[in-house]
Structure 1
Amino acid sequence: MSDDTVIQSNLLTRRDTLKYSGALATGAALAGCLDGNSESESPEETDDGSYSVTMAPAGTVEFEKPPERVLTVLPHHADMALAAGHGEAVSSMLYNPEYNDTIWNTCLERLPGVSADWADLPGTWDPDKEFLYELDSDLHLADPAYMTNMPSWTREDTMKIGENVAPWFGNTLSNANKEPAAEWADDYEYYTLWEIFEQVATVFQATERYEALKAVYSEMVATIEENLPPEDERPSVAMIILIQGEDSMYTYALNGPGFLTAHTRPLGADDVFADVQTESTVDYEALVEADPDVILCLAGLSEARHVTKTRERFQDGPVTESVAAVENDRIHTQGGRNQGPLMNLFQTEMTAKQLYPDIFGEWPTYTEGPYPEIPADEQLFDRQAVADIINGER
C-alpha cells in the first residue's frame, strides 16, 4: 500500500477526531520560561466540549475525547498514561517494550490492581514511515524532536505523520535538558517530570489523578528534605551501568538537571563523578580512586544489567574489591531511567533508603523478584492510596 493511499484513508477519520496546530504546523515558539522550566498551560475547553492542550515542542493539540490508541517511544510517556488511568491506550512502544515491561512491573507489583502490559506491544527503533501508518494511532505520545534523532526521520517526516495520521504530543529532551537539533531550537522548552505529566494527564482528562498523585509525591519529598542530614554527613555515590566484558562502566549524573535525576537530585548526595561528562565511561581505576560509599546500578532490575552481576564482578575483582561500597555491601539497584510519575515514586523511596538507611529505614538487599516488601511504617508513600488514585477509586 502506498503512502498516498494510506493518507487518503486516514484523512476523514483523523481530522474529525484530533485537530492539530502549534510548533509542528506553524514553527512558532512557545513562550514563558522560568528557571529553565516552562510554565504549563491550562487546557482550553470550547463550547462543543473539545479541549486543547499545549506543550513544547509539538505546540497545541485539540481533542474531542481522550485518545484510545497511542504510540509511545520511551517508557516515561507510557508510565504517564498508566498513571492517568489510561494504561490500556498504550498500543505501541518503539524502544524495547519487553525490557521496559520487566522493569516497570517489578515495581508495579506493589500497587494492587496496577500493571504495565507492554511486553508484546509492536515497536521497532527507527521505524519506517509506513509502520506508523499501519499502527493508525489516535495520538503519537512522543516528542517529535526526539524522533528526529533517529537516522531515518526528519522534521518534515514528523509533520507529515502529524497531519495525515495523528498529532504528536510529548517531551523527552527534558530528561537531561539536552539541546535539540538546530531546526527545533526555537520551539523547544524544558519541563519537570511532573509538569509533563500534568499535560499528559490533561490529554486523558485525568487532571484529578494528576493532582492526587502529585500530592503524594510532594508529601514524600517534603518528608525526605526535612530529614536529610547536613551536607558533610551525606554519602558519596556513583551511579553507573557496568559494561559487559570490559573493566569499565558508564557513569551518570546524580544531581544534574532533568527528569532522569528527579529521584536522586532531592537527596543531595555527593556525586563522585560530578566532574565527568554524564553517559561517558570510566575504568575500574577511576572507581577505586573515587571510592564511593554507595554504588547505584541503573537498570539493575533487568536481566542483562542485573545488580547481582555488578556485585559479583566488583566483589571478585582484585582492583575493585577495596572500594568502600563493595566492602560494605552497598551496591544497590535502580529502576527505569526514563521515569514517569509511578517509577519516580518508587525510585525516590528506593534511593532514599539506599543512601540514608538510618533515617528512612533499610533497603533490603535486592537479589530477585518484585520490588521488596517494605514494612508499612517504613514506606515513604501509601501503595494502596496510589493504586486507588490510578484506578479511579479515590
Structure 2
Amino acid sequence: MDFSFLRTWFSTADASTDSTKLNNVEQSNLSKEIIELEMDEFEFINPSDPNEIHSLPSSYQIDKSIVEVAGFNKEKLLEMSNFCKISYGDGDDKLGEKSYKALVYKTDEFFEDEKDFAILENEKMYKTRAELANEGYEIIPFGNGFEEDAGHVFIKDKEITIAYHGTRFKHGLWGLNDVITDFNTSFTTSELLPEGGRIHRGFYSSFMDSWSNLYGILKSYAEKQGSEIKDFKINLTGHSMGGAVAKIAALCLNKTEGTENVHVATFGDPRVFDLTASEIYNDALQETTIRVTQHRQDPVPAVAPGLLGYAHVGAQLRVSTPDGYAIHKIDGYHEAIYRTDKNDFQSNNNVSLFYYPIRMLNRVNCAVFGNAQYYAANLGSYILGRSNFFEEVKNTHKNSSKFEQVKVEPGKNLLSTVIGG
C-alpha cells in the first residue's frame, strides 16, 4: 500500500499553508484590468535528494520559476489535453459545447470605491476535429484487438502526436477490457529492456496489442514524406491508463527506432515501470517527460504502489482540481492547466517522509524479484526460441504503403459518452 497520502499530516515543517495569488494580466485600452484568482497549495516536505543519480536536473527544481517543463509550455499542454479528450471518442458536438469555468475578476479604475465583481469566463475549451483539420492536421485512429480507436494520431508537417485514451467504464466489453488491463498489475519483462527492468503487464499488453497498427501508420507517413520515423518530432500523450501506455510507446520509439525527438505529456496516469526500468526510461527521456497530477486529490497516480516495486518517471507538474469538476476527469486537468499562472508553471518532485524507506524496499524488490524474473524470461526465450516482437512488426510492415486520413465530419460522435468526458 502506498502511504504517501500521510504527507498531509506529517511534514518537516509545522503546517501546510494556503495562500491566494492575484496575477495581473495585460491592461486594455479601456484601462480595465483582468485578474485571475488562483489558489495555490504550498507544502513543506523533504526536498528532492540532490545526490540521487536520477533526480531532476537543477533547472527543474521548485525554487526556480520557468515557463516550460520538459519542453512543454502551457499552450502546448492544453493542446495535448485537447488531443486526449478527442481520443476518448467525443464527437464535435460535445467538444464544441465544453467551455471553461475559470473565475476572473474585473476592476474599473475610474471608480475606485466600486467593489470588484466576479464573472464566469465563457471561452470554449476544446478544438473540434473539424477545426484541427482546417489547421492542417490529419487525424487517424489506430486500434487493437478490442476496438478501432485505442488512440488517435495527429499529424501536421514534421510533428506527430499520438494520444491514447484512458479507461472507458461505460463502453461495454471494451470498457471491461480496460478495467482488466488496469488491474493486471503483475510485472512482465520486455525486449525494450535488454539491460533488465519490468513493466506493468496490463499496460504493456495493451500497448503491444495496438503497436502493429500504430507502427504501420507512422511508417507509411514517414515513407510518404521520404523520411524515417526517427526524423519527426513525436509527442505522446494520454490521460489515466492512456498516459501509462503512452510512456511505453515513447520508450519503444526511442529504443527500437532511435527516435530522440520524443516528448511525453501525461495527465493523472498511474505508475508503469519498476524502479530499474524507470531509471532506464529517465536516462533517455526524463528531460522531455512531464506528468500532470492533481496532487493529494487524484488517487490514480498513487497506483501501482511503490511498495510493489513501481516508480514514476519524468517531471511532475502539480495542479488542483478546479471547483465544479470531478477528481481525475480530463476536463478538470484541462481547466487546471488553463488557470495556472506562468510563475506556477514549474515542476515539483519533492518527496514525502516515506520516500526513502519505500525506495529502499523498492530497490530490494527489483534486485531480488526483478533479476529473478529477468533471467527466467531470458532463459525461457532461449529455450523456446522466441522471436523479437518488434522485429516481427517491422517485417510485417516492410512493404507497407497504406496511409489514410480519417474523414472529419463535424458533429459526428465516433463513440458513446465515456468516463473521460
TM norm structure 2: 0.25
* Greater RCO (CA < 8 Å, at least 6 residues apart): 2
Higher strand share: 2
TM norm structure 1: 0.27
